[in-house]
Chain A
Amino acid sequence: NAGVTQTPKFQVLKTGQSMTLQCAQDMNHEYMSWYRQDPGMGLRLIHYSVGAGITDQGEVPNGYNVSRSTTEDFPLRLLSAAPSQTSVYFCASSLLGTGNYNYGYTFGSGTRLTVV
């Protein structure tokens, strides 16, 4: 059971370049999300999805796009990279809680992105 798999683990981009961070999970989780982690700021939600074909914005969505064509995959696209997007990016997934229950997340190991 691989859990949540993120690729690549490291990436260096030049300002203005575009790229896609990949995230795949094999647990049949309906919910998937992307966070960025910056020193002293904790994790901030970029985008999330509650199922295939459904996405929504989080706290810091500007400069990022997502799509959810399958339950397993939730790629994050940087359209035109900027130095402010230098960060560690985490993908997370969970079952959708029935009623009021929240299962908590399973996290990937992260992608460290540097924009120069």
Chain B
Amino acid sequence: AQSVTQLGSHVSVSEGALVLLRCNYSSSVPPYLFWYVQYPNQGLQLLLKYTSAATLVKGINGFEAEFKKSETSFHLTKPSAHMSDAAEYFCAVSQTGANNLFFGTGTRLTVIP
């Protein structure tokens, strides 16, 4: 069975600082991994996805994530936080060939001016 664990339910960073949101996965087969962002009172929007083509994945709004099989991790990073990045971020996993996504519990990012 596949699952993801997001370390830290709340993360605060200063504007301009590095953003690092952690996600570790558990899967018995090579997974597909996703990061979604949810702004207040909105649905989830796809940030980026890993589908085994490249270990470093670039997404929208300057975010990127690196798939590390040895660490079973898929951490999300952004070099310089903007106020507009304040939102909740979800990591999700699916098995290759399957459509169901399993989501982590989310990390709320606060950006301090």
The residues of A with any CB-CB pair to B shorter than 8 Å are: 4, 31, 33, 35, 40-45, 48, 50, 58, 90, 92, 94, 96-97, 99-102, 104-110
The residues of B with any CB-CB pair to A shorter than 8 Å are: 9, 32, 34, 36, 41-46, 49, 51, 90, 94, 96-106
Considering the complex, give the chain B residue whose CB is closest to the CB of A3: B43
Tell whether, in the assembled complex, residue B100 and residue A94 are in contact, meaning their CB atoms are under 8 Å apart: no
| Contact residues of B: prevailing secondary structure | loop
A42-B105, A102-B94, A104-B34 known; A58 and B100 CB under 8 Å? Answer: yes
Instruction: Give every chain B residue within 8 A of A41 (Cβ-Cβ).
Output: 105
Instruction: Give every chain B residue within 8 A of A94 (Cβ-Cβ).
Output: 99
The listed residue (A42, A96, A108) touching B103 by CB distance below 8 A is A42
Cα distance, A101 to B41, chains bound together (Å): 30
Tell whether, in the assembled complex, residue B100 and residue A104 are in contact, meaning their CB atoms are under 8 Å apart: no
